[in-house]
Chain A
Amino acid sequence: MEPTPPRSLWELYLGFLSIGARSFGGVLPWAHRVMVEERRWIAPADFAEVLALCQFLPGPNAGNVSVVLGRRWFGLSGAIVAFAGLMALPLVWVFGLVLLYADFSANPAVRAVVTGVGIAGGGLFIGTALKLAKPLAQKPWGIALAASCFGVIALGRVSLFAVLPVAALLGWLAAHNDLV
């Protein structure tokens, strides 16, 4: 069956609302489930192509997906409606949580749990980076560049804005000469 894009802004809004509401632990799997499997708005290969673009662009990947697809289907109003739908419920939820937490943050046991969750979140970043790094396994120059970025930013605490131009130049040279 051919995928059919949403017929109205309201349908678009409800779809993204349901993505946002269910997306505990990561938005993209739910974006795929809702748009590709449940509502059949977009074909799987098409979705993968949009995702590749959104991962390349700056900004939150899931937010970019909502803007790019909202625009494709309904222009500017579609981009705004999709983005707003995606963010609405998580935003209410997160403010509720933080206000609740403000009442309990003096409690050392609560603080210990929340700190543990935050540190595990840091670990998730590192696990994600390891997955991203798989293509670098046989590329010593790539590993050296990644390690230098880490040393300068995490340990040296140098601003990203100072590091980025240098890193981008080195990355480009390495990629151009097939070193990464």
Chain B
Amino acid sequence: MTDALREQIRAFILENYLFTDDKSALGLDDSLLERGIVDSTGMLEIIFFIEEQLGVKVKDEEMIPDNLDGVNKIAAFVSKRQAA
């Protein structure tokens, strides 16, 4: 998992849901749902972002909080899939 990937994901969420470039607004381990940053449809948009911008297809069974609910979790999931 690279820092660049983590920051790309964080930047996407900051830009599209928190409307800021202040990194301190989103911790790498923050839950996006618990913090109310995204809702169910926002999560769908994040999946589109992973598929279209990061080039990783998210299978139905991979749509779980451990893979998607936080910057570090998304980055780990994407790295694992890219390496596979």
Do A and B actually bind? no
Give residues in B with beta carbon < 8 Å to A: none
| A-to-B contact residues, CB < 8 Å | none
